[in-house]
Structure 1
């Protein structure tokens, strides 16, 4: 629980334009409550951390009020305090968002990429934001999951054309998001994608195929009779 709370505070510190609010207790009307809260705060996007059974953390990304929204299972959590990395960056500076190439291969990844850009991208003219970049948000797809890490530029100033001389040091946090569902609305609506079920089905199919291949291999390559098999039998 404490690790998840620290992760939430790390994310808040990385988004100077965000507005945090208190806990949402209602479960049945969670979507309506959050959409109303977003409207009162004059926002358009939501990051909602939901902890279940005090051990599983879920993250909702949603565009309010009309959607879309996505639900993720958060795992492999490493907070800034836990990692104790040497990287650092100025609070309030704008990030550069980078994505792995496979974000452009599937429609649902393209949709999530656009949502991430709108949620994590810091507005240029926001009152709490400094007008320069000194850190990077890295979004990578590994085994149908997001891997997120935050490095920063260690060099004070880089001349034009000298990007090869730039060095990056990780700041943290680092965590993995496993997509569960993508909805057409905000916290509900038609299901656009069910990535986790597809991943489980694919894993099961691979297991069945491997078992079938093993049986075929045993039939095609029978073992020779063991001359010592009956040695100890009376």
Structure 2
């Protein structure tokens, strides 16, 4: 479902437990179609389907590159190199209401090369959560999550996300990207890139936008 920024900003109000809020704040990569970049955020807690399977809910919001940079929910914006991709992690937390919330994600570590907004700094390693997968007997699914297969160790990525937080019993603080772009030569592409020229953004031009508005 496509909605507008007003609706997306509304879900950033109110109270969320660290797990349901931090881990599920993001969930899909940038989708570039005809110059429009789309990001996404979660619209709900995970939905427990059965004892060892759960899923998250989200919705899609279309944003231009400039809007992605200025969006209020993107409090962390940085570029860096992927240094490692780990095994899926199962995370559990009890909400203030007493509900057990569980999710699975694959940890992707990024060495920051340049920070445009937020608390990150050059040479800092930041952990990204790529939602979905199976760990310790739990299979977690999230619709339209960033396809992990498109992200490789050694590649440069541009990350747009909310705060870096430690959620539930996860081992270290991390973030769930609202969106990412991957450097391919002199262009930036979405993880959903289909090879068409319309789905590529000039890296140098986008860097100028980030440095002037980030």
How does the TM-score come out when normalised to structure 1? 0.26
Larger relative contact order, structure 1 or 2 (CA cutoff 8 Å, min sep 6): 2
**Could you say which structure has the larger radius of gyration?**
1
Which protein has the bigger helix share? 1
How does the TM-score come out when normalised to structure 2? 0.27
